[in-house]
Amino acid sequence: MISEIFNLRQSVSAFPLRILWLEIPNSQDLGKYHFLSASADVRHQIAFSVPKRKLKHAVDRNRVKRQLREIYRLNKTELLQFLMHEDKKLISIVVYTDGKLYDTSFLEKKYLYLLQKLRQKLANPTPPASPESIIPMQPTE
């Protein structure tokens, strides 16, 4: 599931955060998304990633994940209301992309900005380009 989210490359970013997401179909037959039971009203599942490559010490990675979880907890109602209104289900990953530590208020501002961008993208999705619509480059002579 996580690799599928990374492979789709649907993301929004505002340094030092990046949100990748996967929209789940709203049907009775969820197929490979069976863990999102159709009877349960689970609209959003989220994961937080702080790469060891960026922050070497576990204490720092845990601090950032704690900050991000708290920011999500305080601001999740806005996202859940939007998903309920749009009748969408979402799985997302918040990735921390910097090697420095930041104040929680700074991260919250960035997260709220990302939520705004995410809502815009979910409300007005742009379909991916089909291979037929891509015009191959002609070699120049």
Q: How many CB atoms lie within 10 A of CB 69?
A: 13
| Mode of pairing for the β-strands spanning 44-49 and 17-24 | unpaired
Q: Within a domain: residue 95?
A: yes
More confident residue, 31 or 66: 66
pLDDT band of 39, cuts 50, 70, 90: very low
26 within a domain of the structure (yes/no): yes
**How many independent structural domains does the chain possess?**
1
Tens digit of pLDDT for each residue in 10-34?
A: 899 999 999 999 988 776 455 665 5
Q: Is residue 19 part of a domain?
A: yes
- Answer yes or no: is 82 within a domain: yes
Q: What is the pLDDT of residues 127-138, one digit of tens each?
A: 555 445 445 545
Lowest mean pLDDT among 20-24, 59-63, 65-69: 20-24
Average confidence (pLDDT) over 112-131: 81
The more confident residue out of 41 and 13 is 13
The model's pTM:
0.78
C-alpha separations of 115 from 47, 58, 64, 121, 136 in Å = 15, 27, 18, 10, 36
Tell me if 69 is assigned to some domain: yes
| CATH code of the domain containing 18 | 3.30.230.10
Q: How far apart are CA 7 and CA 87, in angstroms?
A: 24
Q: What's the token pair of residue 108?
A: 């919250």
Residue 114's closest CA among 7, 1, 10?
10
Residue 134 forms part of a structural domain? no
Range of the domain at 18: 2-123
**Quick check: 113 and 19 in contact, CB under 8 A?**
no
Is 129 part of a structural domain of the chain? no
Residue 139, domain member (yes or no) = no
C-beta neighbour count of 60 within 10 angstroms: 15
User: Residue 57: is its pLDDT beyond 60?
Assistant: yes
